[in-house]
Structures are given as C-alpha cells and as structure tokens.
Amino acid sequence: MNDATHIPLAERLRPQTLDDYVGQAHLVGEGGVFRRFVESGNVPSFILWGPPGVGKTTLARIIASSLERPFYTLSAVAAGVKDVREVIDSARRQKFFNSPPPFLFIDEIHRFNKSQQDSLLGAVEQGVVTLIGATTENPSFEVISPLLSRCQVYVLRAMDEPELQTLLDRAISTDPTLRERGVDVEQTEALFRFSGGDARKLLNILDILAGMGSGRIVINDGTVTDALQQNIATYDKNGEMHYDVISAFIKSIRGSDPNAAVYYLARMLAGGEDPKFIARRLVILASEDIGLANPNALLLANACFDTVHKIGMPEAQLTLSQAAIYLATSPKSNSSAMAIWGAMAHVGRDTNNRPVPLHIRNAPTKLMKSLDYSKGYKYAHDFTDNFAEQEFMPEGLEGTRFYVPSDNETERRIAERLGKLWKGKY
C-alpha cells in the first residue's frame, strides 16, 4: 500500500498557495486583503474567526510560506505561559536588523487565559512576532482588549455548496489515491449536509468511504449515511457530534427535562468542550426560551457565564449543572424572542423610513422646539398609574403588535396590565 494512503486526505490536499485555496473569496480573491499581504509583504497581527474546517490554519501557513518567514505554532489547548515565552525568545534570536518578524500562529487562541494572553502582548507591541490567532469563538469575548486592539479580525465563513462541490471535484481529479480507485458521484445531498460547510469534514467523509472497501468508490446519499453511522465518534468537539450534542442539550432544557440536560452537559464536558462555550449558550437560551416567564433566568445564566470565566474547570461543572437544571425547570416563553424577530423582519421589509412622531422626538435646540419637536409629549410619571395614553408608533403602524404575552403566570399579569392600560389596543 502506498504510504500516502496513510496520510489523511485533508492533509494530502492542503493548499500550498492562495490560488489553490477554496472558499473565502472575500479575503483571498482578486483584490482581497490576503492577496495584498502577499504582494506587499506588510502583514499586521490578525485573528481569523470562523467555524471549524474552513481553512484558518491553512491560510496562516500560506501567508508565512509565501513570504518565506519563520512560522512558529502553538496550540492554546496544550501550551502554557512558559511555552509562549520560549517561542518569543526564539523569535527574538532569529530577528536581525530590519528583517520582518516571524509569525506566531496560535490555534484556538480563545482557550488562552488572561495571563497567557498578557505574555504575548509585549512581543506583539514590540514587533518581535506577528501574531496570527485562530478561533471558533467571538474574539470580542475571549481576547483581552489590549491584544485585540493590536490585531485585525477577519471573519471566515462556512463553505457553501458550490465551494464544497469545487473541493470534491478537486479531490477526485487531483488526489492520486482517489484517481487510482475511481469515484462515482451519484448524489451529493447527504455528503454536503453532513459536511456542514466544513471542508475538513467533507474530506474526512471521503476518507471513510475509501476505507470501507476496495474498488471504485460510490458516493450517494445511502453510502454516505451508512458510512457515518458505522464510524461516528462518541463525541468530537470539532466534528459532527459537537453540533448534535449541543443541540440535544439546548432542546432538553427548552423541553424542561433537567435529567437529559445534565446528561448531555456531562457528555460535552467529558469530551473536552470549552465550558465558556456552554455558558454562553445558556445565556442565549435564558432570553430566547425562558424570557419573561422567569426574568431571573437571565440573571442566573449571566452569573454562571461570569463564574465559569473566573474559576474554570473542574469546579465550573458545578455552576454549569446548577444553571442547566434551573433553566430546564423554569417556565418557558419565547415571547420576547418572537417580538424582536417580528420587529426585525418588519423593519427589514418596510422601506418607508417612517418618521418618528413629533411629540416623542428629542428637542435639545430652539430650532427643534420651533418645529414642534416634543410638543404635546405626556410625561408618564405625571399621570395616574404612571401611564398616559399617547401614540408612540410612526404613522401607518398604529396598533401594530409585536409582543404577544405567553400563557404563563408572569406574562398573564403582563397581559392583564397591558389590556387595562391600552384598553384592548394591544
């Protein structure tokens, strides 16, 4: 057997130049910022933010190799402050006179704690290294402000179907092993669906199909589904099960099942999932699925998010469990979520740019007052029950209703009060 067959397909097909790179046309296409980096040689520190398998590491390597600069790499999962300092010391020794700084690539930079990020800051400020970070999490939450302010952030997108098709065609036509075996592509719906916009996942599925027998490789919805059912991992935080387990966790809480919620929480923690990712999802769920049925849910979820950041694992599992059970056993309402989604949809299709009624406009100048800005406004606190009936919606939207109280104890009281104040208008 050819030794190349032991190398994963994703590695065999790793692009070496920007011309070979599939996807992210907004960054690597003609006139794209990464083309300009290679042409000018002037590369600032930057962070690549995007989902798994879209080419963050590959793009970093291409930039470094195209400019023929040293390329250091660290994984934030395994590296500590000592490792960071050793790499920076090595970079200092390699830098001569006005030579451009080497690149330091940190994968999963969102996993670095504050002290680890602080240890990078001086080297980035002094130009000892050009930092390239890769993250699947929003760097605004995970990267300290002084470091973030010194980095450009570029957003990478999941691959769409045409890009996945390009990748599939290239694999079939250029990989010696696949060409030798022969590939019959009958259907791609399941292949693309299971890939989920992840190039590495698509190529891993092809590897699985190739390993299931000899002779020609047949790609159709049946062979792909059967192959994955036989080879699925118990939990892979960067693979298919990541999305399945977090989905099951959220749906269990939404469905008021605390036992299933804790089970899937344990699955994620045992698989090495980032507890901050879980905590962030709980904050979102508290607003989306519980909302006004129990406003304290958001306060507790936010306290959980804050605590997880402060104490880390393994103690954070206690806080996550408490929050998950509290949210699962809380009454549910998506009324506030439906209200904003409805309002956003309306604003998106309403092109009238409706003027704000004069009586509720701000009037900080004499000119504005002369134009009747704020004239006739009723200050609610001057009236009984701190309410004065007046129109707040722009003309043409009077009586439009976005918030519909759900049927739970808290919102029944809200509905009763709104009905009394607005006399059935809402």
C-alpha 249/C-alpha 263 separation (Å) is 8
User: What is the reported pLDDT for 242?
Assistant: 60
**Of the listed ranges 85-99, 172-186, 212-226, the one predicted with least confidence:** 85-99
User: Mean pLDDT, to the nearest integer, of 199-213?
Assistant: 85
Question: Look-up: residue for tokens 């722009």?
Answer: 394
Per-chain mean pLDDT for the chain: 85
Residue of 159, 104, 112 whose CA lies nearest to 135? 112
The tokens describing 268, both together, are 């994620």
C-alpha 48/C-alpha 157 separation (Å) is 10
The per-residue DSSP string of 338-407 comes to HHHHHHHHHHHH-TT-PPPPGGGS---SHHHHHTTTTTT---GGGSGGG------SPTT-TT-------S
User: What is the reported pLDDT for 241?
Assistant: 56
Task: Tabulate helix, strand, coil % of the chain (nearest 5).
Answer: 55, 5, 35
User: Mean pLDDT, to the nearest integer, of 126-142?
Assistant: 85
Q: Which residues pair with 183 in a beta bridge?
A: 217
Q: Which residues pair with 46 in a beta bridge?
A: 132, 152
Segment 22-74, tens digit of pLDDT: 888 888 888 888 988 888 888 999 999 988 888 898 999 999 989 988 888 88
Segment 253-290, tens digit of pLDDT: 998 888 989 999 998 888 778 888 899 999 999 999 99
Segment 169-187, tens digit of pLDDT: 999 998 888 888 898 999 8
C-alpha 47/C-alpha 56 separation (Å) is 9
pLDDT band at 107 (very low <50, low <70, confident <90, very high): confident
